[in-house]
Amino acid sequence: MVGSPVVNRLVIIGVGLIGGSLARALKAVGYCGEIVGAGRSPDHLQLAMELGVVDRTETDLGAAVSEADVVVVAVPLGAMRDLFRRLAGVLPESCVLTDAGSAKGCVIEDVRSAFGGIPDRFVPGHPIAGTEKSGVAASFADLFRTRRVILTPLAETDHDARDTVAAMWEATGAEVTEMGVAHHDEVLAATSHLPHLLAFSLVDTLSRMDDRAEIFRFAAGGFRDFTRIASSDPQMWHDICVANRAPLLQALAAFNRDLTDLARAIETADSEEVLRIFRHAKTARDNLYRD
């Protein structure tokens, strides 16, 4: 617990998995005087109240952000531009604005276009944590514990605003790091967006095969492990893949090249090459996860 609230009024727009988990984590340590949940659906906001995730809810954006100290935008990427446009007219000048979007270049462009430039109190952010579930019912306070949060502050970003956002995420148990915008989008395209695209694509392909019932009947742990993330929200991942398409297509092209080489090695029964690839991948993954 922090001694007394660090942020007086925090507003979370989009109280879903990420926004709800942030609210729960900050509530658990008494970080805010008040957490206001804002969104489109009164039913979803009512659920957030019933679950004790937020202190108050608003469907009116102006009323929600009135006298806010920090506003966190945690809606799908495709909804950001319109939201920032509506925020531009009502956000208090002194308020720190941040977001949780999974790609950063697109969000920054949305903010630039909505506000006619980058507000100095805007701090782009991305928690590297999530599950295949969506909505406030799936949120939990420990989602960000020991996970990374990447901030991509811009030349215009005020240092105090950046420190405010970093301290907020640290209060959830996360480790905060900073990165350039383009670097963030390339790294996340390779490590997160490409694996999701591949999982969706594999399950789609297999589920359209004639003997799909037989295929899925005998699917074992490996299939389950590989495809868990294909249960993620299609709309959210559509938004991410389209918004971050340039780095994603680059990563996909590299993967396609290597997959074609691997297929050729298998076709020609080139055991040396197949084993070289598999051994290299096993070593890389074993080094990554030593559990």
Residues that bind ligand NAP (CB under 6 A): 14-19, 39-41, 44, 74-77, 79, 83, 100-102, 126-127, 130, 134-135, 233, 236, 240
What is the torsion angle, in degrees rounded to the nearest 10, for the CA atoms of residue 289, residue 255, residue 240 and residue 95? 60
Residue closer to ligand NAP (CB basis): 18 or 70? 18
CB of 177 to ligand NAP, least distance (A): 15
> What is the distance between the alpha carbons of residues 244 and 237, in angstroms, rounded to a whole number?
10
CA distance 245 to 193: 10
Given the complex with ligand NAP, which of 101 and 105 has the nearer CB atom? 101
Q: What whole-number distance in Å separates Cα of residue 243 and Cα of residue 232?
A: 17
Q: Is the dihedral of CA 205, 195, 102, 5 positive or negative?
A: positive
Residue 51 or 274 having the CB closest to ligand NAP: 51
Cβ-based burial of 218 (10 A; exposed 0-12, middle 13-18, buried ≥19)? exposed
What span, in angstroms and rounded, lies between the C-alpha atoms of 193 and 63? 35
Q: List all residues 6 or more positions away from 217 whose beta carbon is below 8 Å from its beta carbon.
A: none
Minimum distance, C-beta of residue 3 to ligand NAP, in the bound complex (Å): 30
CA distance 288 to 275: 20
Q: Name the residue nearer to ligand NAP (CB basis): 5 or 27.
A: 27
Q: 154-165 as b/e, with b when 16 or more CB fall inside 10 Å?
A: beebeeebbebb
Closer residue to ligand NAP (CB): 95 or 241? 241
- The nearer residue to ligand NAP, 32 or 100, going by C-beta atoms, is 100
Task: Report, in Å, the least distance between residue 285 CB and ligand NAP.
Answer: 21
Nearer to ligand NAP, 128 or 262 (CB): 128
* Residues in the chain, total: 291
Nearest CB to ligand NAP, comparing residues 145 and 280 = 145
